[in-house]
Amino acid sequence: MRKYKYTKETLDVALEGLKTDDIGQRKKYMSFVSMASRSELYGSTCDTLGVQAWFLSAENREKFIRGLYDETEEKLLWEYLLVLYMVCRRYIDHGSFPDDFRNSAACLEFKQRAYEVAKDYSIHSSAMVRQISGSIIGHMGDNNVWDIFCNVMLKKRDPCTINYITMGIEEYCTQMKNDEEQIFGGRMTEKQRADIINSLQTISQKSSNNSVKAKCLSCIEELNK
């Protein structure tokens, strides 16, 4: 039998480890859970269906969310929310899973709880926490994400933040072009579209990072089509 790195058993250990007062240990265990949420589906390191069941367990979900609400360290909060985002994207809404599964009670309940948590943290004092909260909200089709992203771009313009924001914009543009039923961030209002373009233009002009500039200019081009 193949020995996987990410399994129900190893995730149980990590979830328990998140309760420690030692921030270094919390970061280590959070890194493990976060990597499990982003691990290659059906790859060599992840027992995909077992890990999927672990994340969707109501007991594990609520323990994880309680840990999130207890956390005060900014980067760890971002990681907690990133896990919720990635589980929704990769273990629920990924195209390899059938509609019946995505519409199951366990999946719908997970997404609802993720959305509720993201709404709570969308007004957090940390711009990076607001960004990842916005990404979750956008994944659920809520167009408040565009106002959140504009607000974040006033304060935070590092490559990681801009990567997640432009990823959402690219997803929106592709889904709109393909006339898909589910659209990241719902449909932008004209004001939101103008505000997003203005924010991207400002960053492209001020950033010294060529990757950030390129991502912003590419999104502006797509939004102007």
pLDDT digits (tens, 9 = 90+) for 173-216: 999 999 998 899 999 999 999 999 999 999 999 999 999 999 99
Euclidean distance between CA atoms 23 and 11, whole angstroms:
18
**What residue numbers bound the domain in which 144 lies?**
123-225
| Token pair in block for residue 152 | 């974040």
- Domain end: 91, 121, 151, which one? 121
- Domain end: 121, 145, 168, which one? 121
Contact status, residue 151 vs residue 103, Cβ threshold 8 Å: no
Q: Which residue has the tokens 């990567």?
A: 163
| Token pair in block for residue 105 | 């009670």
Q: Which residues contact 18 (CB under 8 A, 6 or more apart)?
A: 26, 29, 30, 33, 64, 67
Same domain for 77 and 155?
Answer: no
- Domain end: 75, 98, 121, which one? 121
Q: Band of the pLDDT at 82, cuts 50, 70, 90?
A: very high
Same domain for 156 and 109?
Answer: no
Same domain for 173 and 210?
Answer: yes
pLDDT of 1 > 80? The answer is no
Q: Band of the pLDDT at 123, cuts 50, 70, 90?
A: very high
Same domain for 66 and 149?
Answer: no
Same domain for 100 and 90?
Answer: yes
Half-sphere exposure of 106 (CA within 13 A, CB side): 15
Q: Band of the pLDDT at 134, cuts 50, 70, 90?
A: very high
Could you report the per-residue pLDDT of 135-170, keeping only the tens digit for each? 999 999 999 999 999 999 998 999 999 999 999 999
Q: Can you give the pTM of this predicted structure? A: 0.95
Backbone angles phi, psi at 71, to 5 degrees: -75, 140
Percent of the chain at pLDDT > 70 equals 99
| Token pair in block for residue 28 | 């280590």
Same domain for 116 and 139?
Answer: no
Same domain for 178 and 131?
Answer: yes
Question: What is the domain count for the chain?
Answer: 2
How confident is the prediction for the chain on average, in pLDDT? 95
What totals of helices (H) and strands (E) does the chain contain, helices first?
12, 0
Same domain for 134 and 173?
Answer: yes
pLDDT of 2 > 80? The answer is no
Checking phi first, is residue 95 left (phi over 0); if not, alpha (psi -120 to 50) or beta? alpha
Could you report the per-residue pLDDT of 47-67, keeping only the tens digit for each? 899 999 999 999 999 999 999
Q: Output the pLDDT for position 207.
A: 92
